[in-house]
Structure 1
Amino acid sequence: MVDVREWSRADTVPFLRVPTADDDKYSRGVVAVRTGSNAYPGAAVLGVEAAWRTGAGFVRFVGEGRAADAVIARRPETVAAADIGSTRVDAWVIGSGTSAAHRSWDEDRALHDILAGTAPVAVDAGALDLAPKATAPLVVTPHAGEFARLRARLGLNAGSSGDRAADAAEVAALLSATVLLKGATTLIAAPDGSVTNVTGAPGWLATAGAGDVLAGMLGALIATNADAPLDEVAAAATWLHGYAAALASGAADGPGHPIVALDVAEAIPAAIEDLLS
């Protein structure tokens, strides 16, 4: 059995950075997002929205087609261009709303370049298959089905051993990366074998697109906490994600009500304000 630490509200607060008079848009964190597709442009919108709402000072979107159009329609302050060029990037978010089976050669090449870089990368959904060959600092964010496929790709038993924490720690060690295994109880495993769990999110958070919001939040907190351990940043993002969902659904004060993923993104500022007050 693996010892598991419980993450708390108090643990989350130090990762919420309040800008000062000396800050500018770059010092507040630059997040580059390569997510979404013509089939799933909404994933890009949700991730970009969440990155802005979590406090990034600059968000750059490098996807194309319908995803780029949808992002700019929703968040016109986003810089959308395929070529990053010399733009500083503090964190990447990739994979949400994409499929490895339909990835073009150009997209594959671009993702490999990102994963061979030095900026930390939040890897979601359709880019998880590339994680085993990455050299950049990583946080991978699979749900249960994606986690089983990732284990199989690593040559491990794809089925659960019954000890999710041990399974997550095993993958984290093999990848030399942080594993954020999503679920009603989300587990965050670091490469050194330590595991943290995050509980308390309302059941209403089990809705399409919630993971895309979490990926954007994670990118923003990585970008604004450059010197912090990635597993702790991932735990903070996960706790804040659940708390924003509780506020959005009314579950913080009662049984709550149904929500959609965009409701969670829009509740992030209020959640941050409450934690900082």
Structure 2
Amino acid sequence: MVKPRGWLEWEAEQARDWVYRPQAGDDKYSRGVLGVRTGSKDYPGAAVLGVDAAVRTGLGMVRYLGPRRAATLVLQRRPEIVTVPGRVQAWLLGSGINASTRTDAVTTALTEALAEGLPTVLDAGALDLVSRAIGPTVITPHAGELAAMLAHEAKPGSASQIAANPGEWAIRAARLFDVTVLLKGAVTHVASPSGARLTVSTGPAWLATAGSGDVLGGILGALLATHSDQLETDAASLAPLAATAALLHAEAAMLASAGGPIAALDIADAVPRAVAALLDHWADPGAR
């Protein structure tokens, strides 16, 4: 396969084809079921943010399987969430978890989820388990987290080096770990082992706020769940799905901000409007 020379800025014209619009015969299972193992005693809010964003992106069900306190907070915010094990079609793992302090039980649970071979988003405290991923996988580090992942490799890079040249490092990580990489930053870079190189540059500076990455993880997890059948035979779909998640995240932030400051939950609240705007763009022949 010939790899693209440059980076493609991902826009609504491309992204609209990667948001699933429910059909009349759909039920909650056919619309996608996302399994979520996120949050911890120290950071329970990450679970709330990711789950809320996933639900608002448009899927049939979320199963949250995390710490009791986080589960309580999730149910207070979203009483429709299921908190017992069962069939899922994709996983969101690691947000709000600290790899250096997680328990053996949490590590086992994360590893068992990865062993299912389902489409998976690996974030934060699960990034160190990337070598155990056997299904279609997207990792979502920021520069500091990617630097930690590369610390023991032959060519490590510091967070400042990665931030200065994120595209090169995203490509390098995709090849090294054999996964799709969504490298967060002022410009989001998405690179895949097969050569996809996509950027999203539309987010407002207000998007740099605590918990924003947890919201992005929920959006991406939902998109993987709604495209799980396609991902079984076409792992190359991970890159456009990741870029679409980043675009929806940025658009939701702009809608929530309207020029002013925002918090992470504001971004999640605005996701349905961002999805609707993207689908309306698709429906309007003049927008093509």
- Scaled by the length of structure 1, the TM-score of the pair is 0.93
Secondary structure of the residue aligned to 2:63 is strand
1:33 corresponds in structure 2 to 36
Q: Distance in 1 between matches of 2:96 and 2:152?
A: 20
Q: Distance in 1 between matches of 2:172 and 2:88?
A: 30
Larger mean CA deviation between 162-171 and 41-50 belongs to 162-171
Of the candidates 202, 210, 215, which is equivalent to residue 200 of structure 1? 202
5 Å-filtered alignment, 1:225-240, equals 225-226=227-228, 227=230, 229-240=237-248
Over aligned residues, Cα RMSD in angstroms? 1.4
Residue type matched to 1:234 in 2? A
> Cα offset for 1:2?
5.5
Q: Does 1:210 align with 2:212?
A: yes
Q: Does 1:13 align with 2:16?
A: yes
Residue type matched to 2:19 in 1? L
Of the candidates 50, 59, 68, which is equivalent to residue 62 of structure 2? 59
Q: Distance in 2 between matches of 1:234 and 1:195?
A: 11
Larger helix fraction of residues: 2
Q: CA 1:152 to 1:2, structure 2 compared with 1: closer, same or farther past 3 Å?
A: farther
Matched-pair contact (CA < 8 Å) for 1:45–1:74: yes
Secondary structure of the residue aligned to 1:192 is coil
> Cα offset for 1:89?
1.3
Unpaired runs of 5+ in structure 1? 251-255
Residue type matched to 1:103 in 2? R
Secondary structure of the residue aligned to 1:101 is coil
Q: Distance in 2 between matches of 1:248 and 1:164?
A: 27
Q: Distance in 2 between matches of 1:154 and 1:179?
A: 17
Unpaired runs of 5+ in structure 2? 232-236, 281-288
Q: CA 1:153 to 1:131, structure 2 compared with 1: closer, same or farther past 3 Å?
A: farther
Deviating beyond 4 angstroms after TM superposition, the runs of 4 or more aligned structure 1 residues are: none
Give the total of aligned pairs: 268
2:169 corresponds in structure 1 to 167
Residue type matched to 2:106 in 1? E
Q: Distance in 1 between matches of 2:137 and 2:266?
A: 27
> Cα offset for 1:138?
0.9
Secondary structure of the residue aligned to 2:155 is coil
> Cα offset for 1:17?
1.4
Matched-pair contact (CA < 8 Å) for 1:3–1:194: no
Residue type matched to 2:23 in 1? T
Q: What whole-Å deviation, never above 9, does each CA across 1:60-90 have from its counterpart, x for those lacking one? A: 0000221111101110100012xx2xx3211
2:249 corresponds in structure 1 to 241
2:138 corresponds in structure 1 to 139
> Cα offset for 1:194?
2.5
Q: Distance in 2 between matches of 1:206 and 1:2?
A: 29
Q: Does 1:120 align with 2:123?
A: no
> Cα offset for 1:154?
3.6
Secondary structure of the residue aligned to 1:122 is strand
Matched-pair contact (CA < 8 Å) for 1:2–1:166: no
- Scaled by the length of structure 2, the TM-score of the pair is 0.90
Residue type matched to 1:247 in 2? L
Q: Distance in 1 between matches of 2:56 and 2:32?
A: 12
Matched-pair contact (CA < 8 Å) for 2:35–2:65: yes
